[in-house]
Structure 1
């Protein structure tokens, strides 16, 4: 019996678009977000062979689409997992943005559909769905 090699594991890094720090849960040693630092992280992830980077979405984060479009031309292989919240933009606009960024990055765009989130943050973004409604995409479900 021959043993089959395991499937390749794709490892991602996290782009700190809300700032970075040495320790979790504290601002001690904190570093504010700026483009040169995001470029440094993306270039390091690309040169170290990471499959991609997650670009988060949220009220304290820089816009994930804009960050990906600023960094994609600087890297060769790195994929950009852009976090997107349905309901914050029309689906046709999101599709057009995704198609454009995917072409400009030569097929390196990945989408992370964020269906939940913090209720306070959701309300601040104009999303007034219950957790069940957010997961289904149907505002009538509570």
Structure 2
């Protein structure tokens, strides 16, 4: 088995849906989430030729699906990497959301399957499964989702 070497490396940027800061690890110079700023970042990434943007998921982030839906019509080529979270959403709803956003963005949706994360955040979202149980749920989720 040989690895396929892509003709071009695909680089994604990070969309700061939880706010932005000048300094890593601090809120110094912090900037609150603002659709105009997210639009500016997405359009800059699009213009500069980035393959896409990662929209983070988590309790301190704006909803990645809503943000991607808002920004897709304001960009031309940029792809949007959003999270599907087994155990937090049903596979049929996730599949419908995926198909819809992919269709209205002209095929520019990328999916990030997030099985776990911060234990406190999982509990806040009503997920009380162990690491192994989350992966079992994910396997079943993906069978239905596909």
Normalising by the residue count of structure 1, what TM-score does the alignment of the two structures yield? 0.90
Aligned partners of 1:57 and 1:84 also within 8 Å: no
Q: Which residue of 1 aligns with 2:113?
A: 113
Query: In the alignment, which residue of structure 2 is the partner of 1:62?
Result: 62
1:29 Cα deviation after fit: 0.8
Q: Judge which range, 83-92 or 116-125, deviates more.
A: 83-92
Matched, 1:44 2:61: no
Structure 2 gaps of 5+ residues are: 139-146
Counterpart of 1:126?
Answer: 126
User: Cα RMSD between the aligned structures?
Assistant: 1.3
Is residue 43–residue 74 contact of structure 1 (8 Å, CA) maintained in 2?
yes
Which structure: greater helix fraction? 2
- Retained in 1: the 8 A contact 2:87–2:134? no
Q: Secondary structure at the match of 1:17?
A: coil
After superposition, the C-alpha distances for 1:25-44 in whole angstroms (9 at most, x for unaligned) are: 11101101110000000000
The match for 2:84 is: 84
Q: Is this contact kept in 2: 1:12–1:54, CA < 8 A?
A: yes
Post-superposition shift, 1:84?
2.1
Unaligned runs of 5+ in 1: none
Structure 2 CA distance for partners of 1:124 and 1:6, relative to 1, 3 Å: closer
Residue 10 of structure 1: aligned partner: 10
Q: How many residues align?
A: 134
- In structure 1, the residue corresponding to 2:37 is in which secondary structure? helix
